[in-house]
Chains A and B, each alone.
Chain A
Amino acid sequence: MRLTSFLHSDNFSGWAFILPYLIAFVPLLLWPFIQGFWMSLHEWNLLAVTFNPGAKEFIGLGNYIRLMGGDDIGWSLQPMWPFRLVVSALVVTLYVRSIRRRAVGYSHHIMAGLTLFTTAVLLGLTGDWYDTRFWIVVRNTLVFVAWVVPVTTTIALLLAIALNREGRWAATLRSVFFFSQILSVTVVTLIWQLVYGVRNGFIANVLAPFGIDSPNWLTDDQLAMGAIVAATVWWSVGFALILFLAGLQQIPGERLEAATLDGAEGWRKIVQIIVPSIIRTVQFVMIMQIVLHFQVFGQSQLMTQGGPGDATNVWVRYIYQTAFRDSEVGYASAMATVLFAFMMIFSLIQFWVTKRQES
């Protein structure tokens, strides 16, 4: 009796639906994640533990302290003050505006609090950090994401608007722009190394007739990150483009027609009609990309090897080097766990944003 009622309950169908996913999720994602966290609490040498399982040592949060701790920690207004000031002012303005409009919710408080805490407190911390390289790779990763995500989104959106029409040309171009998406990172970096080659690269050959020497795209301190960003944008614009095209199809034709009749043209039409109509797609694309590009690895590893110096070294590459070159898998796991926490925050933001819109 009880069993039959369970079999007919929502609870049962719920479990039945997620079970196939759980079968893959638990052993392939959740379990390794727990193991990784467990490793991060140890001093754990990859090879030593393989040949002598007793060679690991439990050190609690030791790896996290080594990663993020430092001596003489203090706080100051000075570091990055223009950036901190502008962002803080922006957040406060937006927050006050939403309070005035009584449009403020649970997620607003948390997001505003989190951002202010970051800009006011976290970014003001000073000290002799134990692992200075970690902060360099975190900064590089943030810079990478801060460039790739808005540029990819903007280009993809503009392309989608331009290609959202019938006809053979538009269809062909849609395929062309999507094409790069199907390539693996190895192929993408190979193509772009041929483009950037200082002596026989594509750009060098284009510039040669004008008597201009090619800049050192991949070994110049000022250009290397930009070069990697450009390659990544080229690679990922296709995926965003497809999502935007799907979003644009949802906009009712009458709305656009009405806007045109009311005289909305060009930029005004894009900013005031099109973007608000597909704002959820825009948010989705951006958050997906943030989470994806935080994990950038191949471009840095294959195009610049993190150089010159550490100029293009990124978070996941540092994890990889620490784990495999230096065999310190415990410490590398701690870095990976922190990276996970970072991406979790962005996933939660996305969750809140969608939740809010649904309600």
Chain B
Amino acid sequence: MRLTNTLTASALALCVTTTGVQAETELELARFFGSCDDAGTDVSAAVGEACIIQTIINAYSADDNGVTIETLPTDWGNYYDQLKAMYAGNSAPDVHVIHKSSIAEFASLGALMPLQEDDLRAAGINPDDWVDRARDAVTYDGQMYAIPMDIHANLWHINLDILAEAGLVNDAGEPILPSSPEELMAHAKQVKDATGKDYLTADFAQFPIGVRMVLAMLWQQDSNVFSGDEATVNTPEAQRAVETIVGLFDAGYADPNLNYNDSQQAFLEGDAAIQINGTWMVDIYDSETRNDDSALASYYVADYPQLFDEAATWADSHTWALPVTLQSEPEKYEAALGFLAWLNDHNVDWARTGHLAVRQSVLDSAEYQNLAHRDEYSNTVNIARDNPPAVRYSAIQDVLNRELQSIWLQGKGIEEALADAEGEINRLL
């Protein structure tokens, strides 16, 4: 059977080449988001980042447009290391996803292809439709280097049943969330006393969710980890932010030892009232409420609460870029632009994950506004914040992650850890 298939395929291939039909343009695509088995091409049925993006890719590849796309392995962990190695080995993928926070590094070294607005328009992408924040996300030094796909931010994912048991749900069925560090502790105590469960859970042990929480609490106090070339980590504001989190650990209202999967399980099994995680979890948690095995029955998503003077939450963007080498391959460049336009057209499908759309026309559409839970975190788009572009951003984030871990997992003094982080970040800037 397999042999006949192969023979037929080779015969067909032979016919195609001999009759002079133009060969398909092949694009190599690199992304993270994880893998989706048997993704297929039905975009509307997909759930979760991995499956939604893969069906969008597959649908384009299967479409009769002369372009086929090969998706490279999709691991999270070493994505940027691999990408860099591919660039260094002159075998960069033809199109790849990249975080807003990494554009500075790749663009400053001349790796990314500068995108011309006229070319984008010719391919059917209208940059004027992007919200300002999204346009800024793909612009480095006044030049556009990518097209934006989303704005993603930290949210509070809430198990309403647990909060209700602790009396923290109002008559309208909305959660009552803290508005100061003191209130945070009081609510956490209330939940512990009433239910015996943890108030909140997040990956404080490996993935930098703890860093993103501290950043949000710094911005809420009008502070930041660096300004210009100077690190400003060891400040009273940072101390207050870290003390707020450590207070929860010390009182036993949260567990700093859980990693990403464990913290997710803790939330799904109903062992914690709130999980702090990104927009990408919204459709997955929403689908879990219909899963009988999950203890999550009434799910609510809230904007990251304002605990200090102003509202802010950590945010970043997923964007798509082309390598500078495509300049000498016009055919691939055109094919890649066609694919970017396809992605841009599917902005609302990607937003189904929970991410914020980047096109004003999508944001205004009824389809977008009717997405599950969308109205519950509508203010996130206004409070989304991040750091100014920095070439060594991933290293800076790693320093913060290590030093914060050493505070809550290794008992290092807060001031000592912040001072060490400041010294190291100063060397990186």
Residues of A within 8 A of B (CB): 45-48, 50-52, 197-200, 216, 218-221, 301-302, 304-311, 320-321, 324-327
Contacts and interface: CB of A to CB of B under 8 A. Distances in A.
Contacts of A219: 205-206, 256-259, 409
Contact of A218 (B106, B259, B402, B406): B259
B4 interface: no
A49 B403 CA distance: 31
A325 B394 CA distance: 7
A136 to B, nearest CB: 10
A309 B403 contact: yes
A316 to B, nearest CB: 13
B245 to A, nearest CB: 15
A226 to B, nearest CB: 15
Interface string B368-411: 00000000000000000000000010110010001101100111
Across the A-B interface, the 10 shortest Cβ-Cβ residue pairs: A309-B406, A308-B409, A216-B257, A324-B81, A219-B205, A47-B109, A51-B110, A219-B257, A221-B410, A308-B405
Given A216-B205, A309-B406, 5 more contacts: A199-B262, A219-B259, A220-B409, A308-B405, A308-B409
Contact of B106 (A47, A52, A198, A302): A47
12 contacts: A47-B87, A50-B109, A216-B205, A216-B257, A302-B77, A304-B206, A307-B205, A307-B409, A309-B405, A320-B81, A325-B394, A327-B105
A321 B80 CA distance: 11
A35 B149 CA distance: 41
Contacts of A306: 402
B208 to A, nearest CB: 11
A321 B109 CA distance: 19
Nearest to B412: A309
B84 interface: yes
Nearest to A201: B262
B170 interface: no
Contacts of A327: 84, 105
Given A51-B111, A198-B257, A198-B262, A308 B90 contact: no
Nearest to B265: A199
Interface residues of B, number: 38
Nearest to A46: B88
Contacts of B110: 48, 51-52
Interface string B79-114: 011001101101000000000000001100111000
A321 B394 CA distance: 11
A294 to B, nearest CB: 22
Contacts of A216: 205, 257-258
Contacts of A320: 81
A305 B81 contact: no
A327 B87 CA distance: 12
B209 interface: no
Contact of B262 (A45, A50, A197): A197
Nearest to A55: B109
B100 to A, nearest CB: 18
A309 B409 contact: yes
A302 to B, nearest CB: 8
A163 B324 CA distance: 60
Contacts of B90: 50
Contact of A47 (B88, B206, B257): B88
Contacts of A197: 261-262
A242 B109 CA distance: 51
A205 to B, nearest CB: 13
A311 B412 CA distance: 12
A305 B405 CA distance: 12
B266 interface: yes
Contacts of A304: 206
A200 B266 CA distance: 11
Contacts of B392: 326
A50 B87 contact: yes
B410 A308 contact: yes
A65 B132 CA distance: 46
Contact of B398 (A51, A52, A325): A325
A308 B259 CA distance: 11
A190 to B, nearest CB: 13
Contacts of A45: 109
Contacts of B106: 47
A306 B398 CA distance: 11
Nearest to A198: B262
Nearest to A216: B257
B262 A311 contact: no
Given A50-B90, A219-B409, A320-B81, A325 B395 contact: yes
Contacts of A198: 257-258, 262
A206 B410 CA distance: 27
A310 B256 CA distance: 16
Given A50-B90, A51-B111, A325 B402 contact: no
Which has the most chain B C-beta neighbours within 10 Å: A46, A48, A324? A324
B262 to A, nearest CB: 5
B84 A46 contact: yes
Contact of A308 (B87, B261, B406): B406
A221 B90 CA distance: 41
A145 B85 CA distance: 29
Contact of A221 (B77, B269, B403, B409): B409
A56 to B, nearest CB: 13
A50 B111 CA distance: 9
B204 to A, nearest CB: 9
Nearest to A322: B395
Contacts of B259: 218-219
Nearest to A311: B410
B409 A200 contact: no
A52 B403 CA distance: 35
Contacts of B269: 199
A261 to B, nearest CB: 57
